[in-house]
């Protein structure tokens, strides 16, 4: 057990260091922070609302920011290993595929957490201008991190499927977009209008939407069902990644 944790920790540290030795990390962080600030204070109407809340001005945009930014971070995880021919070398080391998958995923997730944490000036601004419910804001940050993890885990699958990073990026964007549209109110309302009597099926499909489960976090509700949903998406996606990698080895 200790050896497994040590291997995972080693891979995580190696992958995390790799992000910060290239411009990718800094470009991602700058873009994310600029988009967050711009949409919060300019597009989201933070000042016009006149309320000390980040729900509809900050967290509202995260599913859309992550739709492109998270696949951009995760597309290289396995595609780069396959392109350079180092995947075989990595998997011949005294580690299991699961340890490699988990180590790479955790490194990228920690990187996304760092980028999210650097948005603290937004939190400081809302506290300076008013008296927000910081518990609600904390729940929003937790939900945002879970959402990023779900998108990242899906990107792990597409990255393992191809050695082309662009193809991996496009596939992961499509998968994440499907999880958004599955329960996005404009889409579900349109389906109900076009196909009356299908509300039960629409509700069932909506249960698999990241928007449905992320909304609870935005409202400050840490519902175990929402947490389990995101962890299930992450777990299933990493399991599928493991299946793909094992097939590549055989």
- The per-residue pLDDT string of the chain (250 residues; one tens digit each, 9 = 90 and over) reads 577 788 888 889 988 888 888 887 888 899 999 988 888 888 767 777 667 678 778 888 899 999 999 998 888 888 877 776 666 666 666 778 888 889 999 999 999 999 999 999 888 888 888 788 888 899 999 999 999 999 999 999 999 888 888 899 999 999 999 888 877 777 777 767 766 666 666 677 777 788 888 988 988 888 888 999 999 999 999 999 988 888 876 5
Burial of 141 (0-12, 13-18, 19+ CB in 10 A): buried
Distance of CA 183 to the CA centre of its chain: 17
Residue 127: what pLDDT?
87
Contact 216, 143 (CB under 8 A): yes
Total residue length of the chain: 250
- Residue whose entry in the numeric block shows the structure tokens 């599913």: 63
Query: Measured between alpha carbons, how far is 114 from 119 in angstroms, rounded to an integer?
Result: 9
Nearest to 187 by CA among 202, 208, 172: 202
Q: How many domains does the chain have?
A: 1
- pLDDT at 93 (0 to 100): 66
Helix, coil or strand: residue 39: helix
pTM: predicted TM-score of the whole model, two decimal places: 0.88
Domain range spanning residue 241? Answer: 2-249
């Amino acid at each position: 057990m200790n050896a497994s944790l040590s291997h995972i920790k080693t891979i995580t540290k190696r992958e995390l260091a790799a992000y910060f030795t290239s411009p990718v990390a800094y470009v991602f962080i700058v873009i994310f922070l600029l988009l967050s600030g711009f949409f919060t204070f300019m597009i989201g109407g933070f000042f016009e609302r006149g309320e000390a809340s980040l729900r509809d001005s900050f967290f509202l945009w995260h599913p859309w920011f992550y739709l492109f930014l998270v696949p951009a971070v995760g597309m290289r995880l396995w595609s780069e290993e396959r392109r350079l021919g180092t995947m075989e070398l990595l998997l011949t080391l005294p580690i299991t595929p699961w340890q490699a998958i988990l180590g790479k995923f955790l490194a990228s997730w920690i990187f996304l957490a760092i980028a999210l944490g650097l948005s603290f000036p937004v939190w400081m601004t809302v506290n300076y201008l008013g008296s927000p419910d910081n518990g609600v804001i904390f729940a929003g940050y937790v939900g945002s991190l879970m959402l990023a993890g779900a998108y990242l885990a899906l990107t792990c699958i597409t990255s393992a499927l191809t050695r082309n990073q662009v193809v991996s990026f496009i596939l992961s964007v499509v998968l994440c977009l499907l999880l958004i549209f599955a329960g996005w109110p404009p889409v579900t309302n349109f389906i109900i209008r076009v196909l009356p009597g299908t509300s039960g099926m629409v509700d069932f499909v909506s249960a698999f939407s990241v928007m449905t489960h992320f909304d609870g976090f935005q409202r400050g509700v840490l519902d175990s069902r929402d947490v389990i949903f995101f962890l299930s998406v992450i777990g299933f996606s990493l399991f599928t990644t493991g299946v793909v990698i094992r097939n590549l080895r055989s």
